[in-house]
Structure 1
């Protein structure tokens, strides 16, 4: 059982500290509920006797004292995959959850595709920020859902408008022996973290990454390009891949957009000319394998008043006038 009264009190304090504008009512309710099931400590009783209408001065210190008296860690002190145990301390969350991933078109197909996340048969991205992440943000050029012993946080859902940051759901992923734990962040879709058997998790994450049945030709070309580029070499010039897609002005032209020092966008345009995605991607990667001053590309300054070309520009760099 992971939803202990200690965990509820812990989470209520964490939630109030994160969003004090919501008031302490949930924290006080959690203290009352803890007393009702038999927990007791001087600070817990005092906390349960306060009112949400009272001054909140000193309330955080009182709640932290209650947790310490109960032997429960403070917010931030419970590692991923563990919970505040009944009677004090922490316990490992059991690996009883299941995961299924699917790449599907977004409701507005103009926005492309999304990775849906089903936990225990319930779709999580719509319950979180609203829309699943684009496969390029999670699975390509590398699988960001792969679990390691080092915890890392990845985006799992974005706002329904399609922009991550306007609305966001993240998960912190960590491998813990035979389990993989997820801890929800930001706009959480459920009130607890989840833990999966590592073997089942690894199989599902590998399966969705290897399934390209959803891809359109432009998406296939994009995958080949993003996995074929030498990203370390690009970074040595201050460049990073930003997006790949057909040019909105001419769907017969494939475009790779790079960011340079977060000050410029750089565009490489390549005509499809009836070719297969792999053939087009090879030409794109070969072009970008040349030194940047040998590229034939367009550039656009992020700051409107910037009129000078980028520092790495060559003679075939031209200012893109689309804006």
Structure 2
């Protein structure tokens, strides 16, 4: 989800990408209540690598966000509560972002499906994010946005070395590739 404050794109200012709308809006709209809300995450797709968090508070007709985690600006921001409530309700009612992708279970040794959704870098692509727990990598496969789930499943049943994939290490500063990487795999940092 892209969040702008006074035309400044704050969800990508520090960490690389906004949260998926599902994470902010389901089962409850987290932006509507007081408390800490993660609004930005690392470009690898995980809020655990780095995150931008807003501490949402409401006083005397004003909603205020104070930053914790990786702050996108040096100061918090304030909103007129009535206007804020209208926008938050609009977000909660807009379900245009929903795209159900049932690719089933991923049965590949050492990999777990993290999520599948629209690629924030290219909305014409479906991004399938896998987690290699033991090696501490995220692995990404991209398909056309209207890909048939059966085609996605067929690709996932192929040996990982045959995939055209990108990867991102979850260990800061580590170089190297996942052991299952094929010759067409590229570091996510090199993806363009």
TM-score by length of 1: 0.32
* Higher strand residue share: 2
CA contact (8 A) 2:21 2:97 kept: no
**2:30 maps to which of 118, 129, 144:** 144
Structure 1: how far apart are the matches of 2:100 and 2:48? 29
Structure 2: how far apart are the matches of 1:190 and 1:176? 22
CA displacement, residues 75-134 of structure 1 (integer Å, 9 cap, x when unaligned): xxxxxxxxxxxxxxxxxxxxxxxxxxxxxxxxxxxxxxxx11100111101102111111
Structure 2: how far apart are the matches of 1:165 and 1:213? 27
Structure 2: how far apart are the matches of 1:164 and 1:170? 10
What residue in structure 2 maps to residue 246 of structure 1? 103
Q: Is the counterpart of residue 123 in structure 1 residue 6 in structure 2?
A: no
**2:87 maps to which of 175, 197, 204:** 204
CA contact (8 A) 2:36 2:53 kept: yes
Over aligned residue pairs, what C-alpha RMSD do you find? 1.9
> Any runs of at least 4 consecutive aligned residues in structure 1 with deviations exceeding 2 A, and if so which?
none
* Higher helix residue share: 1
Matches within 5 A, 1:80-95: none
Corresponding residue pairs, total = 108
**2:19 maps to which of 133, 143, 147:** 133
The structure with the larger Rg is 1
Structure 1 gap ranges (5+):
1-114, 219-244, 256-323
Structure 2 gap ranges (5+):
108-112, 114-192
Structure 1: how far apart are the matches of 2:36 and 2:99? 29
